[in-house]
Homo-oligomer: A and B are copies of this chain.
Amino acid sequence: MKRSERLVAMTNYLLDHPQELVSLPHFSKTYDAAKSSISEDLGIINQMFQQEGIGYLQTVSGAAGGVKYIPKASTSYSQLFVQGLCERLEDPERLLPGGYLFMSDLLGEPGTVKDIGRLFASAFTDKEVDVVMTVATKGIPLAYAVANYLNVPVVIARRDPKVTEGSTVSINYVSGSTRKIQTMVLTKRSLTEGANVLIIDDFMKAGGTINGMRNLLTEFNANVAGIGVLAEAEDEEEDRVVNDYLSLVQIMNVDDRSRQIVVKPGNLLNELTS
């Protein structure tokens, strides 16, 4: 196989297997090329991935070594994306009764969801994450997008048990905004003890739901590796019960009467650019 052909095949393979250690002999055998040629190829791919702002190749040396594609959004791309998201969210057409914002259209765009996943994965790439967790319904696509780039499975907590889930563990928690007691369940066989769990959700006000997931993880003796929310909103009535989170955007001010919305970048950008 010619170098030009090999580069296309290897680029596809690496993009399709993020965070996975691939040995040089694997490439060497698959594409019938000398290790030295493969090394050169990987050098070119690494350089171009960085130039395109999609991440880099990490080299792991030693007998069990190889390369790993680490997805990482570039600072300039992240800033551009978050800025664009803020502008789209400030559209007064999004205003719903009670000061809520309509976001389902954005969350329905696979490209946007993929980019959100890329940014969260970039921010949490140094943490040890075994699994991504969310609660039904709107966090699900985001959780998968993040898990895709981190190459880990997803578990989904629900508000109600279903027969197709098998045995579940259930907790009660207080919704921060409405002060209502709610239930959250997670399938028993979905988490192993001691797992490091990245919590992802679409929206956070007081943080009651996120806190519920945290309590659920305690029941499984699992650890919180990180918390990421797409949008956080100010909550006047009550103190936030969750503090150690990263948000993509902050909904600062939603004025029902003047139909004005102010949306600012969240603290995730600081994390990525620091």
- What 5 pairs across the A-B complex have the smallest Cβ distances? A8-B48, A11-B11, A110-B148, A108-B153, A136-B137
Flag A153-174 by CB within 8 Å of B: 1 or 0 each.
1111010000111100000000
**Which residues of B sit under 8 angstroms from A147, Cβ to Cβ?**
110
- A51 contacts the other chain (Cβ, under 8 Å)? yes
Q: Which residues of B contact A103 (CB under 8 A)?
A: 164
Q: How far is the CA of A69 from the CA of B102 in the complex (A)?
A: 32
Kindly state the separation between the CA atoms of A34 and B111 in the bound complex, as whole angstroms: 29
Min CB–CB distance A208 → chain B (angstroms): 15
- Give complex CA distance A231, B45 in Å: 39
Residue A241 at the chain B interface, CB threshold 8 Å: no
A78 interface residue per 8 A CB criterion: no
A4-B136 contact given A9-B52, A151-B110, CB 8 Å threshold: no
Q: Which of A82-90, A93-101, A217-225, A242-250 contacts B (4 or more CB under 8 A)?
A: A93-101
Q: Which residues of B contact A105 (CB under 8 A)?
A: 153, 189-190
CB pair B153–A96 under 8 Å, yes or no, is no
Given the contacts A140-B137, A154-B141, A166-B102, A5 and B96 also touching, CB distance less than 8 Å: no
Residues of B within 8 A of A35 (CB): none
Contact A12 B114 (CB under 8 A): no
Interfacial chain B residues near A97, Cβ < 8 Å: 163
Among candidates B3, B96, B136, B187, residue contacting A163 with C-beta atoms closer than 8 Å: B96
Residues on B with C-beta less than 8 A from A190 are 104-105, 108
Bound together, the chains give a CA A156 to CA B102 distance in angstroms of 14
A8, B7: Cβ atoms under 8 Å?
Answer: yes
Distance, CA A100 to CA B54, complexed state (A): 42
A15, A48, A52, A96 — most chain B CB neighbours (10 Å):
A48
> How far, in whole Å, are A52 and B5 apart by their CA atoms in the complex?
11
Q: Is A27 in contact with chain B by the CB < 8 A criterion? A: no
Q: By the criterion CB–CB under 8 Å, are B4 and A44 in contact?
A: yes
Q: Is the CB of A110 within 8 A of B48?
A: no
Please, which residue of chain B has its CB at the minimum distance from the CB of A111?
Answer: B151
Closest residue of B by beta carbon distance from A13: B52
Do A164 and B15 touch across chains, with their CB atoms under 8 A apart? no
A109 within 8 A of B: yes
